[in-house]
Amino acid sequence: MSRPALPNGLVAFVKRDCPTCELVAPVLADLAGRAGVTVYTQDDPAFPDLPEGGTRVDDTALENAYLHEVEAVPTLLRVVDGAEQERTEGWVRTDWESLTGERDLGPGLPEWRPGCGSRSVEPEAARELMVRFGSDRLKARRLPLASAEDEMEALFDRGFTDGLPVVPPTEARVLAMLEGTSRDADEVVAHVPPDGAPCTVEKIAINAVLAGCKPEYLPVVLAAVEAACTDAFNIHGLLATTMPTGPVIVVNGPIRQRIGMNAGKNVFGQGNRANLTIGRALQLVIRNMGGGRPGEIDRATFGNPGKLAFCFPEDEEGSPWEPLSEWLGRPAGEDCVTLFPGEGPRSVVDQLSRDPESLSRTFAVNLRTLHHPKLVMAFDCILAVGPEHGRVFREAGWSREQLLARLHELLLIPGSELVRGAGGIAEGLPESVASSTIPKFRPGGIHLVYCGGGAGLFSAIIGGWVGGEIGSQTVVQPIQP
């Protein structure tokens, strides 16, 4: 909605229920006589008393205060040709004299006094005003409910949930969510597979509300949707596979701490709103916008709980290595998400290794089992190194490159162990590879991240889906504000 025009000259916003506004009422009366002033009053249309040259405007509906983004009263503005040139909040004599060009204002008053909050920013009023003056930003279809219909049950009945209750996406909540990004509400962020539906910032905001996100999480959700809908990530294929995999979101950059994500204890578990709701919002977008519903295009035989939500940040400050995003080519310190097609995490336990060679061997024998010890070169993985294990590599001075190189050496497997029938197991590779030596992972197939709680000699493996061009590639996406 466009802003109502303000009159030229001096303009003030006040409310009687503000001691500083009462304090400056004589100054406004003085300015009315000297230069003229228009005063918008928020709670008492008769306040303040003004002589000729002054005009009061009833703004008890708060339209002008809201649309002109008045956050405190008194606020004094100077308007030229209908455009605001300058403003000051509260009472500071020097600022008022500078803005008005007048001298000796309020000679009997103190030099300064802080103002009060504008009524337009009070939570209940702000929500109402946002809907009243901002709902034209929303283009999504409204869902009518019968008077006796329970909104939570209605969302279940209409198929908008992932099996858990969701937050009803009212106009006020969606508009508040959109305040979390500078991107236009009608910007098309992606075409979401499998249906290929165009998905706007507004539609993603609706699903972020459903998931329980805060507005400051929205930029991360937007980046995750962008990454998921690339050809490289191939979310359509990931949905259609019968394997128990789904998108895993790793967050890097300062935004992790700004929005309160958890990279420490219980990093993959419950308890942190940002971790869980960001991952959930991506899954709800795929379900509600792309049509990726279990039993339909989602053909997973077992699935895993991470298909509800799987999102976590790296502990960059504690890590012995550079962040994953930087390793994958993004600039240091950039806010970004990395999407990986992963199953649920499995624990790696080694309580006794105190040197990097022994611990590397523990990692290798566990990694060898990924999906099946005889299946190689098809699946990537995330190796999440916990702090107790990470300390072993830090104290030995091992770089990321050294650890990865040693793991690949330890995971070179004789073909004779991989062929069908070897070890009495029918699964395996054709007999033609029996004389070869084959790596478990393709080059770059192991992604190291550092996270988890500081107590316990544990790490974790997140196995991947089919990698490379025929499957799903890891995608790094910068986060836009």
For the stretch 118-153, pLDDT in tens is 999 998 898 899 898 888 788 888 888 888 899 999
Question: Whole-angstrom Cα distance, residue 322 to residue 3?
Answer: 48
Taking the model in full, what pTM does it have? 0.87
pLDDT of residue 4: 85
Question: Closest Cα partner for 307 from 462, 474, 151?
Answer: 462
Among 36-45, 71-80, 263-272, 468-477, the least confident range: 468-477
pLDDT (average), residues 415-442: 96
List strands edge to edge, sheet with 75-80: 54-58, 37-41, 9-14, 75-80, 83-89
Q: What is the DSSP letter of 476?
A: E
The structural domains of the chain, ordered by start, are 9-122 (3.40.30.10), 156-478 (no CATH)
| 342-to-29, 123, 254, 266, 307 alpha-carbon distances in Å | 68, 41, 24, 18, 9
Q: Higher-confidence residue: 469 or 85?
A: 85
pLDDT of residue 1: 59
The amino acid present at 101, given as its one-letter code, is: G
Mean pLDDT for all residues in the chain: 96
Q: Higher-confidence residue: 380 or 147?
A: 380
Question: Whole-angstrom Cα distance, residue 321 to residue 428?
Answer: 35
pLDDT class of 28 with cuts at 50, 70, 90 = very high
Q: For the chain, what is the total number of helices (H) and then of strands (E)?
A: 15, 20
